[in-house]
Structures are given as C-alpha cells and as structure tokens.
Homo-oligomer: A and B are copies of this chain.
Amino acid sequence: MSAGAQRPIEGEAQALAERLVATLRDRDGFSAWMGLELVALSPASCTVRTTVRREMLNGFGVCHGGITYSIADSALAFASNTHGRVTLSVENGISYVAPVVLGDVLTATAEEESAGGRIAFYRVVVRKQDDSMVAIFRGTVYRTQRELLSGNTRHE
C-alpha cells in the first residue's frame, strides 16, 4: 500500500480541521489583533503563539490577565471547532501560575480531554519562551447542531 493511500479517514479529518480553522481565523478580528500565529493543528487540538506587546499590558506593567486568557480561548475555539459543528464556550476557568512581561512569547496548546455528544472538556496550557508554564486554562464547550462551513442547521 502506498503512503498516499494510508489512513484516508484521518487525512480527511485533518483536511476538514484545516479548512474550518482557516475560515474561523479569516474572520477573527481579535485573534488577528493579538497577532496569533497558528503553530499546529489537528482534530481536537491546536497550538497558537504570539508576542506580548505594549498595548497588552495592564496597570502593573505586566501582561493583562485577559490577554493570556484570550490566547488560550482562541486556541480552544480552534481546537473545538475542528469537527465541523459550531462549538461554543459554556464555562471557562484560568489559573495564573507566573507573571508575563513585555516581549514574552506565549504559546497556548489546547487539547480535548473528554467529549460526549454535546459537551466536551478541554485543557489549555500557556507557556512562555523558556517553556515554563504561565497559565492553566479549562474550557467546557457545547457542540451545536449547526454546520460551521455550510451554515445549514440540522433539526436540533
């Protein structure tokens, strides 16, 4: 069997994931403002990266907690929408492990921990350039019946 014929289903799932996330990223103004690069993507998993700029700082001169959260939340949105149905955050939480300063390069990796028919749980870890952890994020998402690409809605 040739390499090209191997695992067609996984290949299709990967191609779908890439198409869906490309569509989401095209429209995502806030992720664009944050300068999020897509580092890695596969079904139910995503890694994004950005560099902390001056307008991302808070009143203490360190990275605003909302920025760290938002990077993780974008990674979650991309990872959890790789299956084709519109998937939305229900409830998220974040633990702040270490401060982040101007110029730090933050990388957020979202991974599915468990998924049922409608509800799935994700874990997102945010690290900086020395690979040390700066935040731990949990996402609980709800998978709707709406198709992300076609806009069609199955009977819910």
Contact = CB atoms under 8 A, between A and B. Distances in A.
B90 A140 contact: yes
Contacts of A95: 90-91, 113-114, 121, 138, 140
Copies held by the complex: 4
Contacts of A88: 60, 96
Interface residues of A, number: 54
Contacts of A60: 24, 27, 86, 88
28 contacts: A23-B59, A24-B59, A27-B59, A29-B54, A29-B56, A30-B58, A30-B67, A31-B59, A32-B55, A33-B55, A59-B77, A59-B81, A64-B70, A65-B70, A66-B67, A66-B74, A90-B91, A90-B96, A90-B119, A90-B140, A91-B121, A93-B93, A93-B138, A95-B114, A97-B114, A118-B118, A119-B142, A140-B140
